[in-house]
Amino acid sequence: MEQESLIYKNILENMKDGVMTIDFDGRIITFNPAAEKTLEISRHEIIDKNYGEVFFEYEENDAFNQTIFDAIYEASINHNQIVSFNTGRELKTLSLTTTYLQTDEKDIGVIAVFSDITELIELRDALKAMEKIKKLNKDLEVRNRFIRETFGRYLSDDVVNSLIERPGGLKMGGETQTVTIMMTDLRGFTSLSERLQPQTVVEMLNNYLATMTEILLKYKGTIDEFIGDAILAVFGAPVYMEDHATRAVACAVEMQIAMKEVNQWNVSKGFPEIEMGIGINTGNVVVGNIGSKKRTKYGVVGSCVNLAGRIESFTTGGQILISERTKQETGDILSIENQIEVEMKGVRHPVTIYEINGIKGKHDLSINCSDDDYCKTINNVPVLFHFLDGKHVETECHEGTIIKMSRKSAIIHTSKKIDLYSNIKLSFQECANDDKCGYIYAKAVKTDSDEEIIINILSIDAEAIEFLGLE
């Protein structure tokens, strides 16, 4: 028996794992050198002491203590736990196994076997952290690719890079910045779309917007949004450019030139031709990420944006109208077709706007406007017309006569004074009692004499085309 005891003691002394035994009076009976090293407690100080006097000092040791008590309460179960242990100098992580000790004759107490796995846990956590970092990097790469692919449809590459790489580039809020705003719209597209199949409308719009988007990105314009067939674009934000006004005008000219390509595609598909008007204004806006944490939109806010929209509303198909501020910013490189003062809603004073048909300098672009041959057979057609106030048709009716006309424009003789850039709705006196002859929506663009005005046709419905023989 003594020899077995010596063997047991020798094994215990040389074990790498810490071993502690406790009797049912709570007295610590065994505490080997490995336990002494792991828990940083001198065994000579705790042998025969009550367990509670030594191990209840720190809250971090609660799991360690509870595992030992569980071995007493659940005698048939071995408890294997990963627990923390505060030595008073450092917090360690231990692998702890507790077992209820008994012989055939009697119950002895509890044995606890433990080892320090702090470094293993730290290594494991480091490996997990590395795996997590790899996953985060992969997620970040996917997110950045998504941002590039998504924003890349609206912004140039350098703008997308700025938003991704600049700290806080996508945070909420904005800043005041001088930019140039462009508004475009298809003339008469609403009435045109009412006569076409929805799929045709979508095909036409997608082709048109794809062509315009390529040009906008070429000149580093930021597409703020598509509003049906309209486009709102910004030049000079989020990446500032000194020549934002020049870029905007050059871009507008190239967009109008590209309408020929758009309409060639339309004709090849059997679709009707379309025309676009462009309004441009330069000024101060608040630019940034607008909205909420759940729904954010990069955009611009300010009276400068509203004025660009007002200017665009004065355009006819194929026209580019710019503000005085944009003209000043671009200098003397513009080819100006016309200049006029107009009254605008919400603007106290008359606004001077300029019709542009080209730009010189490094861009060197020009809208090649061929003479619009009037249909000689369509003349002296009596018409009735109403002025439009926004979308509202005024009730007062006026008389006039179409002297010459084509699919794009007409010369009207009337005693009623028509201000330049007024919008009018024309019908035909021959069909005054019904609408079987259809309607024409147009804008006054030039005065030939006191009683003759040139109008650009914004839209003409199928009945009017048939009545006038413009097939």
Residues 391 and 333 in one domain: no
- Regarding whether 222 and 338 lie in a shared domain, the answer is yes
Among residues 301, 336, 366, the one where a domain terminates is 366
Structure-model confidence comparison of residues 314 and 148, the more confident one:
314
∠ Cα 9 13 15 (to 5°)? 115
Contact by Cβ (8 Å): 203, 229: no
> Are 298 and 170 contained in the same domain?
yes
Helix pair 198-218, 244-268: axis angle to 10 deg: 150
* Number of structural domains found in the chain: 3
Q: What's the rounded Cα separation, in Å, for the pair 215 and 219?
A: 7
Question: First CA to last CA across the chain, in angstroms?
Answer: 121
Asked if residue 126 is part of any domain, the answer here is no
From the list 467, 460, 422, 464, the residue with the least C-alpha distance to 441 is 460
Whether residue 324 lies inside any domain: the answer is yes
pLDDT digits 0-9 by tens, 219-249: 999 888 888 899 999 999 888 889 999 999 9
Write out pLDDT tens, residues 291-308: 776 676 777 889 999 999
Q: What are the CA-CA distances from residue 395 to residues 307, 386, 416, 425 (Å)?
A: 28, 7, 15, 11
CB atoms within 10 A of CB 100: 19
Is residue 92 predicted with pLDDT exceeding 70? yes
Task: Say whether both 83 and 179 belong to one domain.
Answer: no
Listed residues 84, 116, 148: the one ending a domain: 116
pLDDT interval class at 268 (50, 70, 90): very high
**How confident is the model over 446-466, as a mean pLDDT?**
81
Amino acid at 451: E
Q: What is the pLDDT of residue 69?
A: 83
3-state secondary structure of 263: helix
Q: Is residue 130 part of a domain?
A: no
Instruction: Kindly state whether residue 273 falls inside one of the protein's structural domains.
Output: yes
341 has pLDDT over 50:
yes
Distances (CA, A) of 362 to 195, 246, 250: 43, 10, 10
Least confidently predicted of 12-26, 70-84, 92-106, 159-173: 159-173
Q: Specify the pLDDT at position 308.
A: 94
* Cβ contact 80:68 at 8 Å: no
In terms of residues, how long is the chain? 471
Do 84 and 207 have their domain in common?
Answer: no
Residue 226 covered by a domain: yes
Query: Residue 199 is part of which domain span?
Result: 157-366
Q: Does any domain span residue 354? A: yes
Which range (47-61, 141-155, 231-245, 320-334) has the least confidence? 141-155
Residues 6+ apart with CB under 8 A from 210: none
Do residues 181 and 258 share a domain? yes
Strand partners, 351: 342
- Cβ neighbors of 278 (< 8 A, separation 6 or more) are 182, 183, 184, 252, 255, 256, 312, 315, 319, 320, 321
For residues 460 and 333, state if they share a domain: no
Question: What's the confidence (pLDDT) of residue 140?
Answer: 65
Q: Mark whether 221 and 359 lie in a shared domain.
A: yes
Considering the domain architecture, whether residues 20 and 109 belong to the same structural domain is answered as yes
- Residue 19: closest CA among 123, 109, 118: 109
What's the chain's average pLDDT?
83
Are 174 and 282 part of one and the same domain? yes
Strands (E), 32-172: 79-86, 91-102, 107-116
Amino acid at 233: A
Summarize pLDDT for 38-73 with one digit per residue, the tens.
Answer: 999 998 888 999 888 888 888 888 999 888 888 777
**Are 241 and 247 contacting, i.e. CB atoms less than 8 angstroms apart?**
yes
Residue 370 has pLDDT above 50, yes or no: no
**Is the torsion defined by CA of 404, 409, 413, 414 positive or negative?**
positive
**Domain end (from 366, 400, 416):** 366
DSSP-H helix ranges across 152-180: 157-165
Per-residue confidence (pLDDT) for residue 98, from 0 to 100? 87
Beta strands in 51-90 (DSSP E): 79-86
For the segment 90-117, the average pLDDT, to the nearest whole number, is 83
Q: Is the pLDDT assigned to residue 100 strictly greater than 50?
A: yes
Per DSSP, the three-state class of 258 is: helix
Res 328: pLDDT: 95
Is the pLDDT score of 190 beyond 70? yes
pLDDT at position 371 is 42
Q: Are 250 and 333 in contact (CB under 8 A)?
A: no
CA angle 56, 58, 61 (to 5 degrees): 75
pLDDT digit string, tens, across residues 415-442: 898 888 888 999 998 887 777 888 888 8
Q: Which residue has the higher pLDDT, 75 or 206?
A: 206
One-letter amino acid identity for 100?
A: Y
Residues 339 and 204 in one domain: yes
Residue 376, in any domain of the structure: no
State residue 387 phi and psi, 5-degree precision.
-80, 150
Give the CATH number of the domain where residue 222 resides.
3.30.70.1230
Greater model confidence, 309 or 102: 309
Mean pLDDT in residue range 30-41: 91
**pLDDT value of residue 450:** 73
Pairing of strands 351-359, 365-366: antiparallel
CA dist 11 and 8 (Å) reads 5
CATH number for the domain harbouring residue 453: 2.40.10.220
Whole-prediction pTM: 0.58
CA distances from 11 to 174, 207, 453 (A): 73, 85, 115
User: Is residue 468 within 8 Å of 440, Cβ to Cβ?
Assistant: no
- pLDDT of residue 376 exceeding 50, the answer is no
CA distance 365 to 357: 9
Share of the chain above pLDDT 90, in %: 28
> Between 78 and 171, where is the model more confident?
78
Residues 238, 91, single domain; the answer is no
7 in any annotated domain:
no
CB-count exposure of residue 433 (10 Å: 0-12, 13-18, 19+): exposed
Q: How confident is the model at residue 189 (pLDDT cuts 50, 70, 90)?
A: confident
Of 152 and 387, the structure prediction assigns the larger pLDDT to 387
Q: Which pLDDT score, from 0 to 100, does residue 7 have?
A: 62
Position 373 pLDDT exceeds 60:
no
Q: Which of 226-235, 374-383, 454-463 has the lowest mean pLDDT?
A: 374-383
| Stretch 331-350: mean pLDDT | 85
Average pLDDT over residues 12-33: 87
